Amino acid sequence: MTASPTTKQAEISAEIAELADDRSGAQPRLDYPPYRSSRLRHPGQPPVPVDPELVELHSPVFGVQDVDPLEADLTIAHRGEPLGERIVLSGRLLDTDGRPLAGQLVEIWQANASGRYAHQRDQHPAPLDPNFTGNGRCLTGPDGSYRFVTIKPGPYPWRNHHNAWRPAHIHFSLFGRVFAERLVTQMYFPGDPLFGLDPIYQSITDPAARELLVARYDHDLTEPEWATGYRWDIVLGPGAGTPTEARP
The Cα 106–Cα 115 span in angstroms is 22
DSSP string, 146-191: EEEEEEPPPPEEESSSTTEEEPPEEEEEE--SSGGG-EEEEEE-TT
Judge whether 171 counts as a catalytic residue: yes
Q: Which of 29, 36, 137, 166 is catalytic?
A: 166
Q: Which of 169, 201, 210, 230 is catalytic?
A: 169
Q: Are 106 and 139 in contact (CB under 8 A)?
A: yes
Q: Are 214 and 198 in contact (CB under 8 A)?
A: no
Q: Which of 35, 146, 156, 201 is catalytic?
A: 156
Q: Which of 117, 146, 188, 201 is catalytic?
A: 117
Q: Are 205 and 22 in contact (CB under 8 A)?
A: yes
The Cα 15–Cα 172 span in angstroms is 28
Judge whether 58 counts as a catalytic residue: no
Q: Which of 42, 171, 177, 247 is catalytic?
A: 171
Judge whether 117 counts as a catalytic residue: yes
For the purposes of burial, counting CB atoms within 10 Å of the CB of 198, is it exposed (0-12), middle (13-18) or buried (19 or more)? buried
Judge whether 217 counts as a catalytic residue: no
Q: Pairing relation of β-strands 216-217 and 228-231?
A: antiparallel
- Catalytic residue annotation: 117, 156, 166, 169, 171
